[in-house]
Amino acid sequence: MTKFDLPTQLINVFHQEILDEIFNPAIELNSHVIEDSQPTLFSLDLNKVLDWLQTHEYPKSLEKEPCQTPVLLYVPKFSLKHLLFHYDGTTDSARIIHKFLLLFEDLIKESKATIISPSFIPKSRSKEEQDIIQKISSATKETSFIKFNFMRIGDFWSYAVQHDCTLLVTTKTYQQELSNVLFDFYKGELWDDQLSFYLSL
């Protein structure tokens, strides 16, 4: 918890290896938690995080040192109806998606999924890319795959808003840029209250 710049009262901690159907990102689940087990997910109310960001002259990162535990920035209307997966052609990106699919496997069986992958992925990565597509297709009800050379988190944010995505699954390496984007859009009242973010390493 010391890795976060955020006040600890904004952070919910989950220890479940697989989240069950009663999962609510706003309420910690303390039942069946093994003593000294490592957290599997931190969840933060996105609107409260944005209010906190507004108290600074410039947007701060969420974590001083990004850790391996995923972070879910959720909106009040949190939904897994339409997932947007960012696969960037790296092993780290594949691991993030695998981790998400394992954690949420019982909650996304009726979800729609969209995968965005860059067109410049080398042939040596094509098998991994196909494996990712197959795993997401097996875990969700409907899956589509598209190629876009998005290089900024703002590109994914815009696509997600335009296509009614409800959760963006991406890497924590974007967290500072994401803070900037959220800070700017929130201040300008160009805000969408449907989109949550899952960030991991």
Give the C-alpha separation, 29 to 86, whole Å: 28
pLDDT tens-digit map of 148-170: 988 888 899 889 989 999 999 99
- The pLDDT value given to residue 7: 85
How many Å separate Cα 58 from the centre of its chain?
23
Four-point Cα dihedral 19, 25, 27, 28, nearest 10: 50
Please say whether the beta carbons of 2 and 57 come within 8 A. Answer: no
Give the C-alpha separation, 195 to 201, whole Å: 20
Bridge-based pairing state of the strands 41-45 and 71-74: parallel
Contacts of residue 71, defined as CB under 8 A and 6 or more positions apart, other chains included, come to 41, 42, 43, 44, 62, 63, 172, 198, 199, 200
Q: Annotate 130-175 with DSSP letters as a single string.
A: HHHHHHHHHHSSEEEEEE----SHHHHHHHHHHTT--EEEEEGGGH
**Overall residue count recorded for the chain in this entry:** 201
Give the C-alpha separation, 134 to 55, whole Å: 43
- The pLDDT value given to residue 179: 82
- The pLDDT value given to residue 2: 61
Of the candidates 188, 178, 170, 6, the residue with the CA atom closest to the CA atom of residue 97: 170
Q: At what angle do helices 175-187 and 46-53 cross, to 10 degrees?
A: 80
- The pLDDT value given to residue 29: 76
Bridge-based pairing state of the strands 142-147 and 11-14: unpaired
Q: pLDDT means per 10 residues in the chain (201 residues)?
A: 80 93 89 74 91 77 85 94 95 96 98 94 90 97 94 90 95 87 66 86 93
Give the C-alpha separation, 29 to 35, whole Å: 14
